[in-house]
Amino acid sequence: MPPRRSKTVAQPEPALPPMTSGPPQAEAAGILTINLAAIAANYRALAHRVLPAECSAVVKADGYGCGLAQVTHALAAAGCKTFFVAHLEEARGVREFAPGAAIYVLNGFPTGTGPAFAEIAARPVINSAVELAEWDQFVASSGWRGGMALHVDTGMNRLGLSITEAAAIAPRIHRGNHGITLVMSHFACSEQPAHPLNTEQIQAFREIRTLYRGIPASLANSSGIFLSPAAHCDMVRPGAALYGVNPTPLQPNPMQPVIDLKARVLQIRDVPRDATVGYDATWTAKRDTLIAVIAAGYADGFIRAAAATAAEPGRQVIVGGERCSIVGRISMDLFAVDVTDLPQGVLHRGDYATLIGGDLTIDEAAIQAGTIGYELLTNLGRRFHRIWVEHEAG
């Protein structure tokens, strides 16, 4: 039986994805709230910024940890018509909630996966001459005409055909059924606006576009959108910015915050002066200290790095409405916070600490942890009670 054509994927309006998941709130370590309205608003803001170019959406890694089904549904409703994922299985998830969308699979065309691509009308991003040959063989044997993207490496030195290879392949666009629906590349340093490689990549990709005239082209990721209109080409591919990560790290964040993460206070206890807290006794109380033990740890994506020591305080969370420092090691399921200076009686067992949210942004939380917002988002734990909301932040 020949593979199904892309026209067969049109389906009735997909069912709404679930709006809660994980353990019941009473049993969970904490609550992760994801604002889909903020994601949609971020998408619309970026789409407006790049007009007349198309704004697609990168939803790999479970929608950057925010829920592939829920994020896809919200973005499709906001007008997104093109999605990028890393793996074929993610493409299946997108197809369920965006039946008419174009879906590109960034990690390429694994050997023997042609029928699976055809089944869901997904398009591989071809990253090498070997993949292109295998794709052509599949197309020739199956008659599939779903299309693919051609990835050209302009300076990342990761995936992609070399500029020389791309130039050699370019004459195929003059043949019928050449199959290339997009030519793309990827910035290496777009979060650093003054980095000279940005200009070099824009120029290199401009030259590639002239060879593939008439084929839509895409270069800019989230931060690339804010470099220059010259980077917008025909399509941009925001990812982290959709989920509230600042695409302009040296300037105020133009995106709305998306997530709010709270974890439960399990116990409040006294620690006498000169006693230690946590594994390896890395933190010693310099005074009689009141600590709150919080039900989250590195198994929940609350990264162990940047823990407190006797010489250097740890990162902060919000407890009782105030910023309080983490003390001692972050363990698999727990960490401790110094709450000595909170007003007496303001904090109780069962209350929540804010790990991300309010004025403690995803970017600040990442910096304190010695990482980036991308890593925090994509490692958000499954032991939290998840709630997706669809209202603008008040």
- pLDDT attached to residue 29: 92
Same domain assignment for residues 90 and 55: yes
Same domain assignment for residues 239 and 314: no
- When mean pLDDT is compared across 1-15, 72-86, 148-162, 206-220, the lowest value belongs to 1-15
In this prediction, residue 1 has a pLDDT band, given cuts at 50, 70 and 90, of: very low
DSSP character for 233? T
Per-residue pLDDT, averaged over 298-326, amounts to 80
Per the domain annotation, does 8 fall within a domain? no
Per-residue pLDDT, averaged over 55-63, amounts to 97
Same domain assignment for residues 237 and 332: no
**Whose structure tokens read 């939803």?**
59
In this prediction, residue 9 has a pLDDT band, given cuts at 50, 70 and 90, of: very low
Residue 385 has pLDDT above 90, yes or no: yes
Per-residue pLDDT, averaged over 117-123, amounts to 97
Per the domain annotation, does 381 fall within a domain? no
Residue 10 has pLDDT above 90, yes or no: no
Same domain assignment for residues 194 and 298: no
Quote the number of domains for the chain. Answer: 2
- pLDDT attached to residue 381: 86
Q: Which of 43, 243, 262, 279 is catalytic?
A: 279
In this prediction, residue 16 has a pLDDT band, given cuts at 50, 70 and 90, of: confident
- pLDDT attached to residue 375: 93
Same domain assignment for residues 178 and 224: yes
Per the domain annotation, does 264 fall within a domain? yes
Q: What is the mean pLDDT of the chain?
A: 92
Residue type, 15: A
Q: Is 279 a catalytic residue?
A: yes
Short-list 42, 46, 40, 101, CA closest to 71:
40
Domain limit, last residue, from 219, 243, 267: 243
Residue 306 has pLDDT above 70, yes or no: no
- pLDDT attached to residue 370: 87
Q: Are 57 and 83 in contact (CB under 8 A)?
A: yes
CA distances from 171 to 86, 132, 155, 217, 367 (A): 28, 14, 23, 16, 47
- pLDDT attached to residue 6: 42
In this structure, what CATH number is given to the domain that contains residue 294? 2.40.37.10
- pLDDT attached to residue 315: 85
Per-residue pLDDT, averaged over 198-219, amounts to 96
In this prediction, residue 313 has a pLDDT band, given cuts at 50, 70 and 90, of: low
Same domain assignment for residues 51 and 190: yes
Same domain assignment for residues 234 and 284: no
- When mean pLDDT is compared across 172-181, 219-228, 271-280, the lowest value belongs to 172-181
In this prediction, residue 7 has a pLDDT band, given cuts at 50, 70 and 90, of: very low
Same domain assignment for residues 211 and 270: no
Same domain assignment for residues 78 and 216: yes
Same domain assignment for residues 267 and 237: no
In this structure, what CATH number is given to the domain that contains residue 58? 3.20.20.10
Per the domain annotation, does 311 fall within a domain? yes
In this prediction, residue 305 has a pLDDT band, given cuts at 50, 70 and 90, of: confident
β-strand pairing of 235-236 with 259-271? unpaired
Per-residue pLDDT, averaged over 88-92, amounts to 97
Domain limit, last residue, from 243, 267, 293: 243
Per the domain annotation, does 149 fall within a domain? yes
Per-residue pLDDT, averaged over 123-136, amounts to 96
Radius of gyration (C-alpha) of the chain in whole angstroms: 24
pTM of the model: 0.92
Per the domain annotation, does 365 fall within a domain? no
Same domain assignment for residues 239 and 263: no
Per the domain annotation, does 5 fall within a domain? no
228-267 confidence digits (pLDDT tens): 999 999 999 999 999 999 999 989 999 999 999 999 999 9
Q: Which of 43, 60, 64, 262 is catalytic?
A: 60
Per the domain annotation, does 333 fall within a domain? yes
- pLDDT attached to residue 303: 86
- pLDDT attached to residue 5: 42
- Please give the sequence-ordered ranges of beta strands (E in DSSP) within the chain, or none if there are none: 20-21, 30-35, 54-55, 57-58, 82-85, 102-105, 123-126, 148-151, 180-184, 217-218, 235-236, 259-271, 276-277, 283-284, 289-294, 316-319, 322-327, 335-338, 352-356, 385-389
Q: Is 64 a catalytic residue?
A: no
Residue 71 half-sphere exposure toward CB, CA atoms < 13 A: 31
Complete DSSP assignment for 327-385: ES---SS-EEEE-TTSPTTS--TT-EEEEEBTTB-HHHHHHHTTS-HHHHHHT--TTSE
Same domain assignment for residues 326 and 212: no
345-355 confidence digits (pLDDT tens): 999 999 999 99
Per-residue pLDDT, averaged over 67-73, amounts to 97
* Domain housing 291: 259-360
